[in-house]
Amino acid sequence: MSTTTTDAVAPTRSTRTEVIDGATLGPVTRRPALSDYFSLVWGRRHFIFADARARMLSGTRGTLLGTAWLVLRPVLDAAVYLVVFGLVLHASRGIENFLGYLVIGTFMFQFTIRCLNAGAQSLISGKALMKSFAFPRAALPITAVLREVLSYGPVLCAMVVLVLVLPPGPVLSWRWLLVPGVLVLQVVFCFGLALLVARPTARVPDLQHVITFVSRFWFYGSAVFFSFDRFIELPTILRVIELNPMFQVLDITRDCLLYGVTPQVSSWLVLAAWAVGTASLGFVFFWRGEERYGSL
The confidence score (pLDDT) of residue 275 equals: 97
Average pLDDT in the chain: 82
Look up the pTM and report it: 0.83
- Contacts of residue 28, defined as CB under 8 A and 6 or more positions apart, other chains included, come to 134
Question: Does residue 260 belong to any structural domain of this protein?
Answer: yes
Question: Does residue 42 belong to any structural domain of this protein?
Answer: no
Q: Please provide residue 12's backbone torsions phi and psi, each rounded to the nearest 5 degrees.
A: -110, 140
Q: How far apart are CA 262 and CA 173, in angstroms?
A: 10
Is the pLDDT at 240 greater than 50, yes or no? yes
The confidence score (pLDDT) of residue 28 equals: 52
As a whole number, mean pLDDT of residues 117-124 equals 92
More confident residue, 245 or 153: 245
SS3 171: coil
Is the pLDDT at 152 greater than 90, yes or no? no
Q: Decide: 145 and 196 in contact? Cβ < 8 Å.
A: no
Question: Does residue 51 belong to any structural domain of this protein?
Answer: no
Question: Residue 99: which pLDDT band, with cuts at 50, 70 and 90?
Answer: confident
How far is residue 214 from each of residues 117, 176, 208, measured CA to CA in Å?
11, 32, 10
Question: Residue 296: which pLDDT band, with cuts at 50, 70 and 90?
Answer: low
Is the pLDDT at 187 greater than 90, yes or no? yes
Question: Does residue 268 belong to any structural domain of this protein?
Answer: yes
Q: How far apart are CA 50 and CA 109, in angstroms?
A: 26
Question: Does residue 37 belong to any structural domain of this protein?
Answer: no
Is the pLDDT at 161 greater than 90, yes or no? no
Q: Decide: 221 and 147 in contact? Cβ < 8 Å.
A: no
The confidence score (pLDDT) of residue 173 equals: 93
Is the pLDDT at 154 greater than 90, yes or no? no
Predicted confidence (pLDDT) per residue in 75-98, tens digit: 777 777 667 666 655 556 668 888
- Contacts of residue 30, defined as CB under 8 A and 6 or more positions apart, other chains included, come to 291
Q: How far apart are CA 247 and CA 60, in angstroms?
A: 30
- Contacts of residue 262, defined as CB under 8 A and 6 or more positions apart, other chains included, come to 175, 255
As a whole number, mean pLDDT of residues 219-231 equals 78
Q: How far apart are CA 190 and CA 215, in angstroms?
A: 13
Percent of the chain at pLDDT > 70 equals 79
Query: b/e per residue, 62-72, with b = 16+ CB within 10 A?
Result: eeeeeeeebbe
Question: Residue 15: which pLDDT band, with cuts at 50, 70 and 90?
Answer: low
Highest-confidence segment of 47-61, 92-106, 177-191, 200-214: 177-191
Question: Does residue 36 belong to any structural domain of this protein?
Answer: no
Question: Does residue 293 belong to any structural domain of this protein?
Answer: no
More confident residue, 17 or 199: 199
The confidence score (pLDDT) of residue 86 equals: 60
Question: Does residue 40 belong to any structural domain of this protein?
Answer: no
Number of domains in the chain: 1
Cis peptide, bond prior to residue 11, ω within 30 of zero: no
Q: Taking the CB of residue 206, how many other CB atoms lie within 10 A of it? A: 7
Highest-confidence segment of 6-10, 168-172, 177-181, 222-226: 177-181
Q: How many CA atoms lie within 13 A of 149 on its CB side?
A: 21
The confidence score (pLDDT) of residue 3 equals: 47
Predicted confidence (pLDDT) per residue in 241-288, tens digit: 889 999 999 999 999 999 999 999 999 999 999 999 999 999 999 999
Question: Residue 62: which pLDDT band, with cuts at 50, 70 and 90?
Answer: low
Question: Residue 159: which pLDDT band, with cuts at 50, 70 and 90?
Answer: confident
Q: Decide: 169 and 255 in contact? Cβ < 8 Å.
A: no
- Per the structure, the complete domain to which residue 246 belongs is given by 69-287
- Contacts of residue 146, defined as CB under 8 A and 6 or more positions apart, other chains included, come to 48, 49, 52
